[in-house]
Structure 1
Amino acid sequence: MAVASTLLSSVQIDPLTTLGTLVALLSSYLLYKVYFYPNFISPLRHIPGPPNESKYNKYHIPFVGNFLDILIEEAGVPHRRWIEEYGGLVRYRGLFNNQRILLADPKAIQHVFGTHSYKYPKPNRVVRILGQIIGRGVLLAEGDAHKKQRKMLNPAFGHKHIKDMVHIMAGPAAMLGKMWEERVDQAENKVAEFDITTDLGRATLDIIGLAGFGYDFQALTNPNNELSQAYCELFNTSSNIIQLLRAFIPIYVHIPFEHNRRRWRAIHSIDRVSTRLIAEKLAQALANEKAGNDYEEEGKDLMSILIRGNEQVGSLEDGKLTDQELKDQILTFLAAGHETTSVTVTWMLHVLSIYPEAQKRVRNELLTELGRPDENKPLTYDALNALPYLNACVKELLRFIPPVPTTSRIASEDDNILGYEIPKGTQVFLSPAALHKLKSVYGEDAEEFKPERWMDPATLTDNQTTTKHVTPDMHWAYVPFLTGPRNCIGSKFALIETKILLYYLLVDLEYHPSPGFTFKKAARVTWRPMPGMKLLVKRVQGSGPAAVPR
């Protein structure tokens, strides 16, 4: 001990020297990570891509890569430019020269999102941020957990069940149409100017409440609805800077800024409602089982179907979902089940307002084939899907403005894509916003809204045949609901919901741009108009309270 003490006392540690050593080591490590490795060592350096610079980097800030292009330009625009110039596999740089891979080749897309989809999970920060809002349901689950949840959910989203839900979805859609008609009738000169975004969010929340859980949230009739206000807070209010801070600095969400406190209050509100819903649905299922009720006497909403199927499995070892997993499905249904459809219909009405001939044509088709709602003609799944121009408009809108403009995955192990080595941890991106407007795929008019591209050329007039029509070989570049085993399980639900809303909102109302109103497309959970979407709304000539029924 004496010797050791003598040795320690003889060692003099200079704090400044120690600090300098630590700074030098950290600087060397950072220089290696952001400069030497990506430029001289990484196998990704062989993949073609844009120069490591940005026209927006006016002050030559180091190590920002192409990040400013993505931050400043509309989603998909820089990606599309790089795809057209560098091909189907592109390397570009994020902050601190972080290397990213962009997919735009059908084989590469199939490799990542199809054949090897479970080797490419969602990034941790995406799961962390989204998981606080939508739980760890089928949208965020990975591997065996996803396979189990998907298997249990498939029957609830089957063709027969979706058909049975049309009349349920029609209720809130019809109510919204009546509300807007009354607003127009009470407006000066019978022309109302208002933001359609909030009302559509409330209507789709009511639809998912009834069709998803057999529960009436009454969001349309109650402007102070707790759930509606919570989702408005989560989806509408964050700036790009706040989004980035929450994504890249995990502790940021816990700093008691007012916007963070509002966010957590909203999350707690949604959690409270979902907890109540799962308790009520499980109690109802138990009561039905004790009463010996058959299927016709039980709920036909998505959650009831899921719970009945889950009870038939038997045990957790056989694949039965836990109560927490069931609750996570509720969180997923609530968020994804209303948000994507509300923004889709918002964008559709906006686009139809600036393409009046398309608006008139789809309205005429609805009136001719289905009539007005007051004619008591039943609205059915088959009737809506038999309308060629309506179907073409919906497909084209999802091409023109996909609900989710960009998605990403992380390579969980070393891989090879199109002959290029992809190291473990590489972030891989797919941009529907870019793919959907590739002129090399859709032709020179790819940036125009043309529903005719989805229709049979034989049914079109001569002046419409110049459009390049979509054929099966082009479908790899059309992924509004993604592709492969992780594609959107609720796509059929969302499509029919969109068509139902359009029917009730188009037959008696017409939409025009609001003069002077400007907006931006903001990538949040979905691609939303910010600060909303204001339109001029008025009655279609010949419709209204005094109109004679057809």
Structure 2
Amino acid sequence: MWLLLALVLLLVILALEMLRFVRNMRTIPGPLPLPLLGNAHLFLGLTPAEACLRMGELAEKHGDTFGLFLGPSYSVMLFNPRDVERVLSSTQLLTKSEEYSFLGRWLNEGLLVSNGRKWHRRRKIITPAFHFRILEQYVEIFDRQSLRLVEELKLRRSRGHAGVNLGEAIHLCTLDAICETAMGVSLNAQTNVDSEYVQAVKTISMVLHKRMFNILYRFDLTYMLTPLARAEKKALNVLHQFTEKIIVQRREELIRSGKEQEASTKEDVDDVGAKRKMAFLDILLQSTIDERPLNNLDIREEVDTFMFEGHDTTSSALMFFFYNIATHPEAQQKCFEEVMSVVGQDKSTPVTYELLNKLHYVDLCVKETLRMYPSVPLLGRKVLEDCEINGKLIPAGTNIGISPLYLGRREELFSEPNSFKPERFDVVTTAEKLNPYAYIPFSAGPRNCIGQKFAMLEIKAIVANVLRHYAVDFVGDTSKPPVLIAELILRTKDPLMFKLRERVY
């Protein structure tokens, strides 16, 4: 009986929302919806890769701005940089779209999904965690974990006659790096792939993808009855208990050392940060809001957010970086020569913050990779009040979708958009004038990625150490680009395989 009533209520909500959608189509074009199904039929039965292509087809057919009804919400896709600028630079359009709510069970109200005053206050206290003096200390972790990756790749080379799944190995490396920088503890994911925490991260990533992109899992009423919900609950118990255990241990250490009170200001954070290596967690433990320290839940949601945002995105960027330079040997050679000139020929020389900032050409290759293959292919906002975006009326309740992936591939914005041309980002030599809101791999405006400098340093540290030890060749058909899957994080339909040749010099 209750299930039937829930189903009827769901159908009524869908019908009302669809009426609103049809009214909006007077000013915003889009594909005609079917009764109750809306535009979901356009994506039913498609693989994630095919769904990604379908979105591009809709953009070509309906223009830079078009609407979609993917029950129970109405969404408007914006593919014009002027519209994108209007949204991302706004101090009013800061609320994330409904899809981000699926992250709530893991991240609660961490920086990524929080809104309003809470987001503003959290952003303010977290910003010092990415000060260059703190980032300098993180580079030592990046260096150590990437050298461990080099050793793991040596083992994989000996076992993988058909090639090495570099993306899988890098994913575990970035998970180790983010865990140590976030919580100050070693997860050892690279050598302990079957650990409970590593498996829980895999499970929760799979759950989030299915909830965001499969209409059958979008509604809480029906989702909670599925085996997927039970798998999510089990994984969340592992993730939350691990983080909470570390928080309690670190808080007790601070209390015992008598440093909690004296380190409660920003100046003290900087002083302590200069004396000993600080994890992101330590900075949160020493921070205050309205002169009150954060409680364990406050800290857990920010640490979990840092964990979520900092490993999958970086590993995606690195996988596509190595694909690009493997299929463009001249670019790989220039990267290698630059690493040699900056770091030197001694493979044991540690990479440092100062050295990484000198890797200019590597930096160009990373930027070009993120144009072609942005780690986060889709950004979302929710309109809370009726607004106008460059002449387009967007009603309250609308979700706005912005795709860095499609923006980066538009011929109107980038010459030869499907070609790997790192020099286009060289401000000294390039003649190509880039629209700042056409290139947004780290988003832009007030809610841009707070950890982009962290990410760039980690990427360059891993690149430098891998290239010092190996030349990287792509194992596959170089005449066709990889088939992309625009999930929560950009991936390929099939794993990218590489052959690694040990460098001797």
Counterpart residue type for residue 68 of structure 1: L
Kept after mapping to 1: 8 A contact 2:152/2:169: no
Q: Please give the alpha-carbon distance, in whole angstroms, between the structure 2 residues aligned to 1:381 and 1:277.
A: 27
- Matches for 1:157-236 after TM superposition, within 5 Å: 157-184=130-157, 186=158, 193-236=163-206
TM-score, normalized by length of structure 1?
0.79
Q: Please give the alpha-carbon distance, in whole angstroms, between the structure 2 residues aligned to 1:33 and 1:164.
A: 51
Distance apart, 1:457 and its partner CA: 6.2
**Which digits, 9 at most, give the CA deviation of each residue in 1:226-264, with x for residues without a partner?**
22121122335887589414652213443252x443333
Match of 1:434 in 2: 406
SS of match in other structure, 1:270:
helix
Residue in structure 2 matching 1:121, options 83, 88, 95: 95
**Which digits, 9 at most, give the CA deviation of each residue in 1:306-331, with x for residues without a partner?**
32233xx5634xxx533211110111
SS of match in other structure, 2:42:
helix
Kept after mapping to 2: 8 A contact 1:373/1:504: no
Residue in structure 1 matching 2:286, options 308, 322, 326: 308
Kept after mapping to 2: 8 A contact 1:482/1:488: yes
Distance apart, 1:125 and its partner CA: 4.2
Match of 2:267 in 1: none
Q: Determine what percentage of the aligned residue pairs are the same residue.
A: 24
Kept after mapping to 1: 8 A contact 2:107/2:301: yes
SS of match in other structure, 2:129:
coil
- Matches for 1:186-335 after TM superposition, within 5 Å: 186=158, 193-236=163-206, 243-245=213-215, 247-257=217-227, 259-289=228-258, 295=272, 298-310=276-288, 315-316=291-292, 320-335=293-308
Match of 1:415 in 2: 387
Distance apart, 1:336 and its partner CA: 1.1
Q: Please give the alpha-carbon distance, in whole angstroms, between the structure 2 residues aligned to 1:242 and 1:28.
A: 22
Distance apart, 1:101 and its partner CA: 1.6
Distance apart, 1:203 and its partner CA: 1.0
Match of 1:394 in 2: 366
Residue in structure 1 matching 2:42, options 68, 84, 88: 68
- Matches for 1:142-157 after TM superposition, within 5 Å: 142-157=115-130
Q: Please give the alpha-carbon distance, in whole angstroms, between the structure 1 residues aligned to 2:215 and 2:13.
A: 24
Residue in structure 2 matching 1:108, options 83, 91, 98: 83
Q: Please give the alpha-carbon distance, in whole angstroms, between the structure 1 residues aligned to 2:212 and 2:139.
A: 39
**Which digits, 9 at most, give the CA deviation of each residue in 1:412-451, with x for residues without a partner?**
11111112322111111111011111110112x1112211
Which region of structure 1 is more displaced relative to structure 2, 417-426 or 354-363?
354-363
Distance apart, 1:299 and its partner CA: 4.3
Match of 2:26 in 1: 45
Residue in structure 2 matching 1:478, options 439, 444, 458: 439
Counterpart residue type for residue 84 of structure 2: I
Superposition CA RMSD, Å: 3.4
Match of 1:527 in 2: 490
Kept after mapping to 2: 8 A contact 1:288/1:298: no
| Aligned CA distance change for structure 1 residues 429 and 387 (closer, same or farther; 3 Å) | same
**Which digits, 9 at most, give the CA deviation of each residue in 1:264-307, with x for residues without a partner?**
32221111111111112211222232597972555422221232
Kindly name which structure, 1 or 2, has the bigger radius of gyration based on alpha carbons: 1
| Aligned CA distance change for structure 1 residues 288 and 533 (closer, same or farther; 3 Å) | farther
Kept after mapping to 1: 8 A contact 2:217/2:223: no
Kept after mapping to 2: 8 A contact 1:149/1:321: no
Counterpart residue type for residue 303 of structure 2: I
Match of 2:318 in 1: 345
Match of 1:360 in 2: 333
| Aligned CA distance change for structure 1 residues 244 and 297 (closer, same or farther; 3 Å) | same
Match of 2:268 in 1: none
Match of 1:538 in 2: 501
Kept after mapping to 2: 8 A contact 1:79/1:434: no
Kept after mapping to 2: 8 A contact 1:169/1:210: no
Kept after mapping to 1: 8 A contact 2:404/2:440: yes
Counterpart residue type for residue 306 of structure 1: L
Kept after mapping to 1: 8 A contact 2:326/2:332: yes
Q: Please give the alpha-carbon distance, in whole angstroms, between the structure 2 residues aligned to 1:529 and 1:365.
A: 29
**Which digits, 9 at most, give the CA deviation of each residue in 1:190-215, with x for residues without a partner?**
x6623223322221111112222221
SS of match in other structure, 2:484:
strand
Structure 1 gap ranges (5+) = 1-18, 54-59, 459-467, 544-549
SS of match in other structure, 1:379:
coil
- Matches for 1:492-507 after TM superposition, within 5 Å: 492-507=453-468
SS of match in other structure, 1:447:
coil
| Aligned CA distance change for structure 1 residues 51 and 238 (closer, same or farther; 3 Å) | closer
TM-score, normalized by length of structure 2?
0.85
SS of match in other structure, 1:424:
coil
Q: Please give the alpha-carbon distance, in whole angstroms, between the structure 1 residues aligned to 2:150 and 2:57.
A: 40
Distance apart, 1:367 and its partner CA: 1.8
Distance apart, 1:522 and its partner CA: 2.6
Residue in structure 2 matching 1:447, options 407, 418, 429: 418
Kept after mapping to 1: 8 A contact 2:209/2:488: no
| Aligned CA distance change for structure 1 residues 537 and 148 (closer, same or farther; 3 Å) | same
